[in-house]
Every structure is written in C-alpha cells, then in structure tokens.
Structure 1
C-alpha cells in the first residue's frame, strides 16, 4: 500500500493586528516567539510565520526587530522549523519597504501579498527585479492570494516572467475579505480551479469553520496554516488555550484522516525540491 503523503502545518502565532489584550498567550517578544516555536514544533508544526512587534506591540518591518525575532527562534529550534518572515504592509509600508526588509534580513523564507507588492502594472518592473534577486539569493517566497483574481494575476506574472518561478509557492486566504471574515470549505474551489495544478499551496481560513477548511485543503493536496493570526477559537467555539494547542488539534484531526504532519525537511523537499 502506498503511504499517504504527510501534510505540513505552518503556525502563524501573532499576526499584525492583535495585542496581548486580545489573548494573554499571544507571543509578542522574540523570547515569547521562541517559546511558541519550540512548543509548536513539538505539537507538529513544520513552519512558523513571524511578525515582529515594536515596543508598543505594533506591527513592524524594521529589519533589526525582525532579525531579533528570527535569531531567537533559530536559537531555539535550529532548522527544525522553516522560519518565514512576513512583509505584510497593514496599510503602513509601501512595496519598497517590504522588499527592503527581505533584502536586509535575507531570511530562509518570506511571505509576499501579491496585491501589496505589485499593486498595479507600474510596479511590475521593480517587483521583477526583487523576485529575481530572491531567486538568486535562495529565498523561498510564498505568494499570498486572497481571491480568484489574485490567482489569475499571478499566472499572468509567471507567464510574462515577472515572477521567475515555474512553481510559485502560494497561500490561499479564505474569508479575509468576506462578510464577518468567515470561510467555508467550498471557498477553496475558485482558487484551485484558477490555479496552475503544479503550484504547491497552503491554505489558511478565518471564522468558525477554519479547521473544516484546512482539512478540506489537506485532502485536496494542500498544506495548512493555523494559529492566532487567523483564529483564536478552538473548534468547539471556546477560546483556544495557545498556538501549540491549535497545532496539536490540527495534527490530531490529520491523524484521524490517516495523515501525519510533515517535518521541516519534508516541507522543504516538497516546495523547494531540496
């Protein structure tokens, strides 16, 4: 019998907008992120998606702050987690600052929202230089896509060589711009119908059906991202205890489906052919 492929779990533990007042277990400092990374690794995570915060708990793309977070997590888990930094703008940072962060920090992986980094055709030449530089530097970019239009736009950028990757890594975000930020498993279908089938992909979801969406994604061949950035409730509707509890819950449901969490090495193999 052929073994079913493992499913990678990425944890997004803090996001750009939440603060300690939203959940006491939300990691803010580098030390808290390192503790969360260690616990989530033990629970089954293969990747951590990092947002750095300033002294007021605000979202920051300051390279020094981001480096401190990466260094703390790396010291705690080594290469047993893929460490992905965010370039999310949150209405504060232009594309130039997002690209400058990646060039300054040179992380193993970074997430880039297509509609933020390449907001219009005029932004394509600089974006093309950035994408080419990341490819040359060996930085794994994950393209964040919010709807079918984003998928089709990425396909066009790949076809024209603006994005030089033949198999760009993507994250499908379900429910981010829906009413009440709610998602359902069927929300995956427009993404998958529009995408190139060779693209390796993850999904994350907002709302009460987060876990349903993620398991549907796993069964359809994707990987999943879970954590307080998208949802702070357990599947039964009660407040989630911690990010690692969310990861462990996802790993448990995967086990019930006959799947296991992928390791960081397996995640790199799938997305980067390493």
Structure 2
C-alpha cells in the first residue's frame, strides 16, 4: 500500500484543461498572463503543483513548443509551484506532438496509463506510446504523474513499473481521474477498489472528480488519506447554478475540507518531497 502524509495534503490545481471554450467560460485562464495570475493566487491559497494545458492566441488548445517553454519559464519565475505539463493535450493531438511536450523541461508531466472513451471522443494512449513516453521521462529527468481513468489503467501501471523500473526521483505518484464519461465512476466504491489495486511501489496518490463527482471524490480521498486535484479543468460550478469565478476558490474549498480532516496544505515543499522533482533553478542560486 502507498504511504501517505497523515498531517499534510498536496493540492494540485488544474486551471484550464482542453475541453472548455473561452467563449462559454470567459473566466477560464487561457492567456499566459491569466495563467500566471491564477497560479499565484492558487499558490497563496495552498496549492503545491499546477497541471497545465495551454491555449493559442484564439484560446484553442495547442502544444506549440514556444508557448510551452514560455509558460514553464513564466510559472517558475512567478511561483514556487511544481510545474506539471499535460502530455494529453486535447483528444485530437497526435502522439508525436505529445511526446515533444517534455522538450519544454517541466518538473513533472502527466502520463495516462491507457486509452479511454472520453464522452463522444477517444483519448488514445496505446501501450507503445506509454512505454516511449515513460522512458523519455526517465531520460529527461521529468517526474511523471500516472493518470488513472479506469481500473485497467492501475493494472497497466504495475506492468509498466515491472518492465522499466521506477520513475526519475524514485517515487510513484498517481492521480485517479474519476467521473469521465467512459471511465470509472466518481464514487467512493470505485476509489477504494482503485487504491487497493495500486502497485506496491506507489508512494502517494491523489484523486479528482469530474463535474458532479467533485465533492464525493474529494470526501472519499480525504477519508482514505489521499491527496487532491481541483480546478476548472474538472468542474465549473461551486454548487448548482453557482459558477466558479476563480480557480483559487476551488483550492480554498479543498483546503477547508482538508482542515476538517485534520490536514494542512503542504504547498510546493510537500509536492517536491512527494514527487522528488529536481529543485527549481532559483533554489541553487
């Protein structure tokens, strides 16, 4: 079973995602300036890591290399957050472009452990791609967060670790992404089953519930000693008919729920401890 921090919690913020259109949600942070401002607010609220999708000048999802590099640099200059780039991009991005995300030298990257139906689309993650991305993360010294959308993905993680060994840094951190139409449901029962299946090498895990499953998954994860991912990538309302205006609101809610469970937000220091990422450049200056 993975070890967990009984007194501290890692809160990851996923502020943008690739699915919501700016026109439908003007408060979604899609420009670099908006993203940096959001990151600063969320760090102040208690977040330790930021899971980043970027947009182009028309607010559409992109994996443009210049924008990726500029985003990583700006977030490092403005915050101490662990910067995690999504290698999923949007469901329409080609596999070769997704591999090149690591060229931007983030602290961490997402690594989804299998193909899943994603609403009316298919989020493609074939086994050869998973293996190539994992070995590339080891080579580039980027710590992966293993994204688990279904129980089969948990089994695939065990297979991957047996074949290629531990990630860079030696820690195995997973995130259960629950409630996606086509993936595992966002229920306590599903989370209990997933955690029970985690490989012995797992050192920490978090969970996020999509849409209406946000609060049930949050409460279940807290009751089991897990960590949390929150953000407008995953939910756009605080309650029925009450839109999220700032990602920091979701971080603040997670912090308040964690306090009820007797746990304090650990911030970037806890994120680096759990993932064993390389120290940011400014720490060595």
Identify the TM-score tier after normalising by the shorter chain.
0.7 to 0.9
- Is 1:173 aligned to 2:177, yes or no? yes
- Give me the whole-angstrom Cα distance separating, in 2, the residues matched to 1:160 and 1:112: 16
- Cα deviation, residue 129, structure 1: 4.9
- Give me the whole-angstrom Cα distance separating, in 2, the residues matched to 1:170 and 1:216: 16
Other structure's SS at 1:234 match = strand
Deviation beyond 4 Å, 4+ runs, structure 1: none
- Give me the whole-angstrom Cα distance separating, in 2, the residues matched to 1:76 and 1:226: 21
Matched with 1:6 is: 8
CA RMSD of aligned residues (A): 2.4
Structure 1 unaligned segments of length 5 or more: list them. Answer: none
Change over 3 Å in CA distance of 1:130–1:273 after alignment to 2: closer
Higher strand share: 2
Provide Cα deviations, 1:168-195, integer angstroms capped at 9, x if missing partner: 321111111259x962222212211221
> How many equivalent pairs are there?
264
- Cα deviation, residue 196, structure 1: 1.7
Matched with 1:137 is: 140
Match of 1:267 among 268, 271, 275: 271
- Give me the whole-angstrom Cα distance separating, in 2, the residues matched to 1:262 and 1:160: 33
Change over 3 Å in CA distance of 1:38–1:101 after alignment to 2: same
The two structures have a TM-score, normalised by structure 2, of: 0.84
- Give me the whole-angstrom Cα distance separating, in 2, the residues matched to 1:132 and 1:39: 34
Other structure's SS at 2:18 match = coil
Matched with 1:109 is: 108
- Give me the whole-angstrom Cα distance separating, in 2, the residues matched to 1:192 and 1:255: 22
Matched with 1:17 is: 19
Matched with 1:193 is: 196
Other structure's SS at 1:157 match = helix
5 Å-filtered alignment, 1:126-165, equals: 127-161=130-164, 164-165=166-167
Other structure's SS at 1:115 match = coil
Match of 1:207 among 202, 206, 211: 211
5 Å-filtered alignment, 1:222-241, equals: 222-235=226-239, 238-241=242-245
- Cα deviation, residue 98, structure 1: 1.1
**Maintained 8 Å contact 1:211/1:250:** no
The two structures have a TM-score, normalised by structure 1, of: 0.87
Provide Cα deviations, 1:84-134, integer angstroms capped at 9, x if missing partner: 1111142322322211221x211111112222598445x26xx54542342
